[in-house]
Structure 1
Amino acid sequence: MTDTGKYHLPAGSSADDDYDVLVTPESAGWGYSGLRILTLKPGEAHALSTRNSEFLVLPLTGSCTVTTDGKAFELAGRTGVFASTTDFAYLPAESEALISSASGGTFALPAARTGRSSLSARYGPKETVPVELRGAGACSRQVNNYCLPGTFDAEQLLVCEVLTPGSNWSSYPPHKHDETRTDEAGNPVESELEEIYYFQIDGGEHAFGYQRVYGTEDRPIDVLAEVRSGDTVLIPHGWHGPSVAAPGYDLYYLNVMAGPGQDRAWLICDDPAHGWVRTTWDTQDIDDRLPFGENQ
């Protein structure tokens, strides 16, 4: 029997009165990573208490105003996740914020539980978000690096988006980041991070993709999920990948990561059985369907 039912949350299955998706460290059974998906109708507002976690407010569709600590951040947002990157706001732990939207929209609220709050609420301009084209050939994908080491400061939180053209594979070769390891010289080579994948798929109600997660000998996990728009997959440990975009359907996922490391490192280790695939990219072109939308 697989663990798919435990770690694959189909659209609507983790909703409550306020959120389309609600994943907390408690509901996930781990220590740090969280995600909420908030939909506001035109003119609606939502009060958010961050408590012991830091948050981003990241528009998926639509625009909003984030008011906190006497500041108001106007987020112009976007028409959809395949249209462009977006501006965003950062909220530290122990904050009170109001998220309001005159025209309505859907907003991702990635979160990380943190034991400190040394940063202030800040605005993240769309123009400063690094857009990376990763891989080549059928492994070509686009990565929007919102809140990673070197792109935006946070305490524990790591956030990026991955967009994969139909028929391509991303999150490949399969990799993991579930333990803190160093090499023989003492250099860090892997960091411990819990991860959440939140999916949207272009192409209507029948659009789909696939997500694989599998374990090591001493830490088993076995997930093979057919994913659709609004689905979430939790990755507490193990090798994850590929994320497969079915032919005809472009695949989007939001990655949220956090862990116990105080240096906020994102260090991954490829599955040795498949890491050789990276060497084939040198002789292939990047898929000419990338980048998506306004980033072209």
Structure 2
Amino acid sequence: MSDTSKYHLPRGTSADGPYDLLVTPESAGWGYSGLRILTLRPGQAHALSTGDSEFLVLPLTGSCTVTTDARIFELEGRTGVFASVTDFAYLPPETEALISSAQGGLFALPSARTERSSLSARYGPKEDVPVELRGSGACSRQVNNYCLPATFDAEQLLVCEVLTPGGNWSSYPPHKHDEARQDVESELEEIYYFQVAGDGNGFGYLGVPPRERSRAWGRVYGTAERPIDVLAEVRSGDTVLIPHGWHGPSIAAPGYDLYYLNVMAGPGQDRAWLICDDPAHGWVRTTWESQDMDDRLPFEGLTQR
């Protein structure tokens, strides 16, 4: 039986109060990862209490001011997720913040529950965000590494963006990160939040159906001990939750570039991001050596660092 209806959250179905999307550890049925998507009209402000979680304020479209008791951060933002990387703000647990926007915009608030609070509120300049090109050929994609172990300090939170040209596959080969195995794999819950470029008709897929089927779309699939089966057609504003299991690929339909924001967190105290490829498909990586990077990458305004 498919779990798609449980873990695929179509746009608007998980809206709550001021949020277009509200995913908390409680609503997801897990322990750490969260995500809120906030729309601010011109001149509007929103009060955020971080509670027991750390947050990023990450502009998707537009600019904003983030005000705390100790600091004020002016986030220049961007015109859209395919236009450039963005600057951002980090907010530790037990912080009261006001997010305001003179012109309005759309803002992602990824979060991670944590028992630690050793870091202060900080500004993340866009010039310091590493932009990485991964894969090659039809698996070429771009990754904007905002808040990963080697790029920005946090307690538990991991955040990046993946941009996939139309017709390409990302999150491939299928992989997982649901066991703590030293130097091999991390235990991380993951959230995918999608946007699709174009006129509003674009779509993509997340999830390869069960192995006994012959077709190949994207899928989240588990093991006999921890079963899960998710195959979702995704559109702008959709979200997919990955509590465990193999997941990938994410497939961009031809003609429609695909964006997703990845939010990850878990119980590990070393804040590592280690993945394990599905042995049935990991060999695909060896084919990339003989292929060229897609010449549509990097996206306009973005340069590899």
Q: Structure 1 length as normaliser, TM-score?
A: 0.98
Q: How does 1:166-185 map to 2 (within 5 A)?
A: 166-182=166-182
One-letter amino acid of the counterpart of residue 51, structure 1: G
In 1, Cα distance between equivalents of 2:51 and 2:258: 33
Gaps of at least 5 residues in structure 1 are: 183-187
Report the equivalent of 1:210.
Answer: 205
Identity %: 84
Over residues 203-232 of structure 1, what are the superposed CA-to-partner deviations in whole Å (9 max), with x where a residue is unaligned? 122110000011122111000000000000
Three-state SS of the structure 1 residue aligned to 2:184 is: strand
Does 1:254 pair with 2:261? yes
Q: Give the superposition deviation at 1:5.
A: 0.1
In 2, Cα distance between equivalents of 1:249 and 1:141: 13
Q: Give the superposition deviation at 1:70.
A: 2.6
Q: How does 1:1-296 map to 2 (within 5 A)?
A: 1-182=1-182, 188-212=183-207, 213-296=220-303
In 1, Cα distance between equivalents of 2:151 and 2:35: 20
One-letter amino acid of the counterpart of residue 255, structure 2: G
One-letter amino acid of the counterpart of residue 149, structure 1: P
In 2, Cα distance between equivalents of 1:217 and 1:205: 38
- Report the count of equivalent residues: 291
In 1, Cα distance between equivalents of 2:185 and 2:232: 26
In 2, Cα distance between equivalents of 1:70 and 1:153: 19
Q: Give the superposition deviation at 1:16.
A: 1.1
Runs of 4+ aligned residues of structure 1 deviating over 3 Å after TM superposition are none
Gaps of at least 5 residues in structure 2 are: 208-219
In 2, Cα distance between equivalents of 1:10 and 1:204: 18
In 2, Cα distance between equivalents of 1:13 and 1:235: 17
In 2, Cα distance between equivalents of 1:144 and 1:204: 24
In 1, Cα distance between equivalents of 2:125 and 2:89: 9
Q: Which moved more, 1:63-72 or 1:37-46?
A: 63-72
One-letter amino acid of the counterpart of residue 90, structure 2: Y
In 1, Cα distance between equivalents of 2:28 and 2:127: 33
In 1, Cα distance between equivalents of 2:272 and 2:256: 32
Q: Structure 2 length as normaliser, TM-score?
A: 0.95
In 2, Cα distance between equivalents of 1:69 and 1:180: 37
Three-state SS of the structure 1 residue aligned to 2:74 is: strand
One-letter amino acid of the counterpart of residue 211, structure 1: L
Over residues 74-102 of structure 1, what are the superposed CA-to-partner deviations in whole Å (9 max), with x where a residue is unaligned? 00000000000000000000000000000
Q: Give the superposition deviation at 1:181.
A: 1.2
